[in-house]
Amino acid sequence: MMGQNTGTQSGFFREAGRLTLLFAEIIRSICTQRLAWSDVLYQLYFIGNRSQTVVLITGSFTGMVLCAQTYFQFHKVKMDSASLSIVSVAMASELGPVLAGLMVAGRVGAAMTAELGTMRVTEQIDALRTLATHPVDYLVVPRFLATVVAMPLLTVEAIAIGIAAGWFVATGVLGVDPAYSIKHMLHFTEVNHLLMGSLKAVVFGGIIALIGCYKGLNCGDGAEGVGRATNDAVVHACVGILVTNFFLTMFLRSVLYPQ
């Protein structure tokens, strides 16, 4: 069957090729077909509803632990009040989008694969096609657009709560001066950091939806096929996010800070 030949190099390239074709079909559908806005809004609601809590929890605790660890090191060189600026730069440009991406991949990407995969094994995708509807138009495009819109929003949320939680730990628990913390944070954090985080989030959203839908549409037979596809979708999306993140950092750095 399609999509089961993974793990080998040729499997990797075949998969990459098919993902590219699916992406092209999505773009084509967005440009040429009438968009069902109500479906996009429903998906947006679904994504927000499902991932809100986990994103807030991971964002806040990561901000807290990062702040504490930075303080422990900076304290040795009497730079206590700079701790929060490390948290804010790291959250805005790296951790915010990556954490939100990993959480959304686990919550939303997996749900997409399971839903579309179940539709495939129960022949609902075939039924859709006989009712003269392209699965990409009806199923993939609303999910893709919704994820691409939701990811930056969730990312900004993770960044904000991460910094707030870090500030709370720094000032409330570790006794750092609140006013200087804020002053240094504002001094070192640039709009470009936030911009980088948001752009990354858009790309990660695309990766999550693309892989989630692809794995679902091409899943193997039966409950086992759906299970494996869901598992694959989460792992591949997470790896994809972490690998892409590095290249995006290098690329966006050169775009946002031209020499």
Q: Which is nearer to another protein, 127 or 255 (CB)?
A: 127
The reply to whether 14 sits near another protein by the rule CB under 8 A is no
Q: How many CA atoms lie within 13 A of 15 on its CB side?
A: 22
Residues 119-178 that bind another protein (CB under 8 A): 119, 122-124, 126-134, 138
Rounded to whole angstroms, the Cα distance separating 110 from 156 reads 22
Residues 60-119 that bind another protein (CB under 8 A): 119
Lookup: tokens for 34? 């009438």
Minimal distance, residue 154 CB to another protein, in Å = 24
Rounded to whole angstroms, the Cα distance separating 65 from 61 reads 6
Confirm if 209 and 116 have CB atoms less than 8 A apart.
no
Count residues contacting another protein (CB under 8 A)? 14
Q: How many CA atoms lie within 13 A of 37 on its CB side?
A: 0
Rounded to whole angstroms, the Cα distance separating 174 from 190 reads 25
Q: Which is nearer to another protein, 138 or 188 (CB)?
A: 138
Minimal distance, residue 138 CB to another protein, in Å = 8
Minimal distance, residue 44 CB to another protein, in Å = 16
Interface positions with another protein (CB under 8 A): 119, 122-124, 126-134, 138
